[in-house]
Structure 1
């Protein structure tokens, strides 16, 4: 044994398998105290944790980490111990005193005194007592204690009366081949800190604390903290839990949890999520308690039991999956014995008789019968899948189901093309070099709520088979193509109606040939097609439709255009300006199609692009006769330095050489497109124009308009202004006008009293570094009622956030406007989770360009 009074340095080389660090607390080295050691002022406490105040950071400062050795690939088990003086023994106990430092790869421990214990048989050090002002450091970790124990053999440690901090989002520690002391660096990521009577660790990266506190707030201003009898932070699983936990806000207890489980990183982990609580006019006071199950890296499920006080218990499930070929999700919800819905059923006959649902007729009585017979056990299902089997074959499924006509009103959340049309579709795709195929099964579940306007059932495609072939660059430069389709249409009778609509099969073939001719500044493409459609129908008596019908229509068109460009200097910036005039001629002879039912066809909306489409109808049931010339001219301004399109302008119209006889309807009582209608007997179409102007990277302005030169009136227009200088700064304004209430021109009435005029204004804007606001207002000026209203305020700090979002949206306009009112409040304790009355994401998604940054890290 030797005594060293001067500075003593020695290296102890031990082949011990030492991981990150693992801690446990032998009884002989622990002490019980009624108070935590560190009770200094907030400023002194922050200084011990290495907190440096700096207002340029989101949290008002950062943690400064002192230098220490990183792990080394060739010296993982080397320990170096230094001190001012010591008593050294090769077989007994060694004592080192005065500024003792123990270094090993990736870890440093400093203390006032260390007692080293050796194995009497091997002479190797197996444990160490640590006394006085202990500082244990690892990358992004600091633990300060009064007394501790380190067992190298069992790989455990413990400290008593500790102050600690640890980064919530760990960065992977680098490995070096030679000793390389880390430079001191700033920790600006989310960091948790707290105090504890006892700190121990028995497994790598699993920390246990008793009589402890935890927060992610800055140490000089802790807005909230968790105090618990026992806290475990498991960085391996990314979860933490606490028992007998109290959440304190400004030292005031606001929540108590006998047990609480929370995430401590961004990884997906199984466990209960924060509950959702609130009050709704449709649900009453409610609570939802989601449980997240991380089944596998590519499978997960969120199971949400809940209680809706007005209705009953609810169980919802959302499962997501990702495989080598597929991605998808399944949503299911069930509410057994819905009390509120049962009361609604019982009251409906009296309300219907009193005229609350409009005129009592066959439709109303049929919808009432459906309501009375509906099951009070409410269910909803949504399934979506996208699969890619190989380079050629893929599939898509979108299936939605509701148990009754009122599920969407009461609970929503299913994929729907409209609130009362639930899509049920499955597609199989093949894509080859020359041939493409689609096999489709498509239906809609149509909901018929009695408190809304009548909803008509839609035709189903069971099945639809589409095969398209294309062979370009053939002999003489010709291109051959063929489009084929076979579809079986079926439909259920709309409740309350007596007319039986035709059903049956439709076979369609459209072969064609074109000759694309291209030069640097000019192109022309003549094309000839033959459109052939065969119908085999049944249930035709009510509509006087023939059981069999064949239509053959030849189609000839010529597309041509010029392309000019030049350099142009505007405000000291160089642009490439293009000038692109287009002429499109179409000839289609008249074929009588009035006896063919309308399965999937409507009138196309007139736009600039529609000027160069041969058919004014969408779908196959109508091929419009015409002898016309579409002419348009467009120009673009492209920034030469960035390649960014600054401006795009286009204007054009169609010149007709004869009246159009093929129409969608047979009379004005059915729709606007009927024989002899105004639009079918004019020699020119309305003038259509479009403009998109990027004023600068922040401002964008767009407008589309249709002007009738004969009536000298605007048929319809849309206007949009978008401003986004930053992600959190957005202003949107839109205006839409449609003559007779329709952008397509098909409407039951054509008087000016039905003109549609809607404005839509939305914004998101920060009021300060921490506070921001959002809003949306949409108004129907013709009906003089509100369409949508959204308002919200968010306060965001580095360790907590709160936002309040409210909204009102029109659900139906029957006798009077009916609205759905929503209000959400969310609190977030960052690094722990959020709690509130729901997620207002569906409301906020209506603000174009807005990305809600709630619960964001600093």
Structure 2
């Protein structure tokens, strides 16, 4: 009790003594002694200065961080502030007028408060406000036993302080430090005076420690209209994981019909969980999708299993399934583990079934790798396999491959040394195909010279490869061994300088000129025509200075060539890069050297490659690259992206062009001749338009459109509209995707149409994922061509 209140009480007591008799005086004296004893001993009321007691506690709207140690309200002293008090007997004291009680993290405000010493009970009435750092409650009446955590509140309105959520309850009982029981109550995450949705229940048990709420006989209502009823329901009241149903997803498509996706989340343990999604498709059947995640000392991984017991559209396929297993992690810092296993039930699985584990464009990789890294060397063991999509494809599996790398960056001054080695065993699924053991050793010496304005690196390597091939058996011959040894030296020297000047035309800009030249010599000594793990690397501006054009050591193409290029960059006075232009080409010294297509080169020059990036005022972006064949005087490939960004969205257009001969060159080592001819019979010329706009703080919209200028057909278009309030969201999306182009037999192209409706409530561990980016709002559909980031320049020269 404050000194001010003590003085008021003493003055009132003196005045009463003057007007009363001795009997009343003795009664009053006894009450005063009881009040003093009750104050000093029982309730430990502390004398304070004029400073308000509210400053000693958390603010009325402040959340107490659950990670910080809380003050024990049972053992903490009680602090009381009021305009006046009245002591009736040795068991009862009444405080009136702006009463504030603080005990630990608990604060009670009320018009009147009565304290009972015998049962250590506080009764607050009239505009009662209780705040314990987690809940803020407004009640008509509160009963609190101040040496325990029990509280009883009547006619309540409450708000969560540490998370979104509010509601009303006829009665609220706090039975311990973290548990509340609400009778005839509802809860919602909507703001005040907004009851778009609410969850009514006859009883709600809120456990702050478990961060969950259990509803008995819950009724979910939207605008006070009942939607569903359950006998019991448990939901999280924070972002903690909780077993239960997630919000469903509803869609309609021409391929699957009406579809309802119902996800169920299983919180199995702290380090692993499971999400099961039941997908009912009226044109297909019920599909079971499972995603299991785990975290261990060896890293983290996921297991995806998709299972369709019976496909109505393709009954001949019977059971259809897809399995994906991924794991990646480190062990004892030096060991690294990586596993990627993907397998499907049939070759048409991805084209027939909507899947989240892969796509039809690539063969499916089954790969396991374990690596060990030290300061100067590393080793790895790899097992690699592919699942083909056609019967004609016979990919080789690597079981196993051992890799070794050694680095000596400062063997001598200006001299680096490294050694790479590899032992691989190749087997094919087809027993008639040959099997091979390949051993490769590659030592290299490098002389690096560099300073602030230039770099010159000279490198010599020796490629030694040994093949032991077992030929496929035939009707007349048994499997035979064939040994091939290949030894190829290579030499490369590369230099570049950076010239810089302050521009006179644009005074605040700095321009650089960066010429670069490289000489590469590889003698043409290849003796093996094998291609066990070979794919052609895409050609662009950056391929000009590569040593090889193939991903594997099987194909080492002879080279005697100069590569030359020049780049120019423009920086503003803040050293932010605004423009970058690069142009380069390869000059072949001898025409009789085979080019990357294994045909005799008819020109001394490669295609002219260029790339450009431009950023104007951080809202207009441009990126492009192209290759121009100087021999045929035709463009081989080109693409560009132009994007305008504004406060509430962006607008982007993109284009790509690929010449048929370039398509054939790229795919030459991955497809059969018939398939290659089919894919490269026409050029690729495609236009794309993309936009997204934040209409206001609640509405968002975006759209994507792609058109094939060669076939005059729409490839794909998508559109989405989303609404996002403070407590619920809804998103409607539509997509149209080309499945089969028009041909002589099919006069009209075939498309797949899909509608999707996604909705849910916010708070209690959920979010909407409505994002204004390259994805359609609702996060359900993405374009195969997709959003292209138009500008990836450096922010500064340092």
TM-score normalised by L of structure 1: 0.76
Structure 1 residue corresponding to 2:584, chosen from 634, 643, 652? 652
- Looking at structure 2, the residues matched to 656 and 274 of structure 1 have their Cα atoms a distance apart, in angstroms, of 62
Structure 1 residue 168: deviation in Å?
A: 5.3
Of 204-213 and 815-824, the range deviating more from structure 2: 815-824
Residue deviations 1:127-159 (CA, integer Å, cap 9, x gap): 123333322234464322222321234421111
The counterpart of 2:514, out of the listed 576, 580, 583, is 580
Q: 1:107-146 maps to which residues of 2 (within 5 A)?
A: 107-119=106-118, 126-139=120-133, 141-146=135-140
User: Structure 2 matches for 1:313-462, cutoff 5 A?
Assistant: 313-336=286-309, 338-340=310-312, 344-346=314-316, 371=317, 376-413=318-355, 415-416=357-358, 418-419=360-361, 421-448=363-390, 456-462=393-399
Asked if 1:194 corresponds to 2:127, the answer is: no
1:466 and 1:69, CA in 2 relative to 1: closer, same or farther beyond 3 A?
closer
Cα distance, 1:571 vs. partner? 4.5
1:759 to 666, 687, 700: 687
In 2 relative to 1, CA 599–166 (structure 1 residues): closer, same or farther, beyond 3 Å?
same
- Structure 1 CA distance for aligned equivalents of residues 580 and 734 of structure 2: 38
Does structure 1 conserve the Cα–Cα contact (< 8 Å) formed by 2:364 and 2:387?
A: yes
Structure 1 residue 86, shift from structure 2 partner: 4.6
Distance 2:63 2:529 in 1: 83
Q: CA deviation at 1:440?
A: 0.8
Hey, what's the Cα distance between the residues in 1 that align with 2:552 and 2:697?
53
Alignment of 1:55-74 (within 5 A): 65=60
Kindly indicate whether the alpha-carbon contact (under 8 Å) linking 2:62 and 2:161 is maintained by their aligned counterparts in 1.
Answer: no
Q: For 1:592 and 1:318, locate their aligned partners in 2 and report how far apart those are by CA, in whole Å.
A: 47
CA contact 1:284–1:308 (8 Å) conserved in 2: yes
Inter-partner Cα distance in structure 1 for 2:283 and 2:180: 44
Give the CA deviation at 1:819.
4.4
Q: Distance in 1 between matches of 2:158 and 2:568?
A: 65
Q: Does 1:710 align with 2:648?
A: no
Q: Structure 2 unaligned runs (5+)? A: 1-5, 14-31, 45-58, 669-675, 771-775, 791-798
Q: CA shift at 1:692, angstroms?
A: 1.5
Change (3 A) 1:570 1:825: farther
Range with greater deviation from structure 2 (682-691 or 253-262): 253-262
Match of 1:740 among 653, 660, 663: 660
Instruction: Look up the match of 1:291.
Output: 264
- Note the C-alpha offset of 1:397: 0.8
Structure 2 vs 1, CA of residues 483 and 96 (structure 1 numbering), >3 Å: closer, same or farther?
closer
Q: Show the counterpart of 1:473.
A: 410
Question: Pairwise mapping of residues 200-349 of structure 1 onto structure 2 (< 5 A)?
Answer: 200-305=173-278, 307-336=280-309, 338-340=310-312, 344-346=314-316
Partner of 2:93: 94
Is it true that 1:554 corresponds to 2:489 in the alignment?
yes
The answer for the alignment partner of 1:605 in structure 2 is 538
Aligned partners of 1:749 and 1:145: how far apart in 2?
A: 79
Question: What is the TM-score of this pair, normalised by structure 2?
Answer: 0.81
Pairing 1:772–2:745 present: no
Task: State the number of aligned residues.
Answer: 722
- Residue of structure 1 equivalent to 2:649: 729
* TM-align CA RMSD: 3.9
Distance 1:484 1:416, change over 3 A: farther
Cα deviation code 1:756-811 (max 9, x no counterpart): 11122222211222211011112222233333321100111222221112223345
Deviation, 1:580, is 1.6
Give secondary structure in 2 for the equivalent of 1:129. strand
Q: Distance in 1 between matches of 2:769 and 2:608?
A: 52
For residues 836 and 580 of structure 1, the distance between their equivalents in structure 2, rounded to whole angstroms, comes to 44
Shift of 1:537: 1.6
- Measure the CA separation in 2 of the matches of 1:662 and 1:69: 74
**2:599 aligned to 675, 687, 693, which one?**
675
Task: Report if the CA contact (8 A) 1:147-1:160 is conserved.
Answer: yes
Confirm or deny: 8 A CA contact 2:249 2:757 kept in the other structure. no
State whether residues 96 and 112 of structure 2, in contact with CA within 8 Å, keep that contact through their aligned partners in structure 1. yes
Q: Report deviation, 1:235.
A: 2.7
Long gaps (5+) in structure 1: 18-63, 120-124, 170-189, 347-370, 449-453, 494-498, 665-672, 851-858
Q: Equivalences for 1:510-525 in 2 at 5 Å?
A: 510-525=442-457
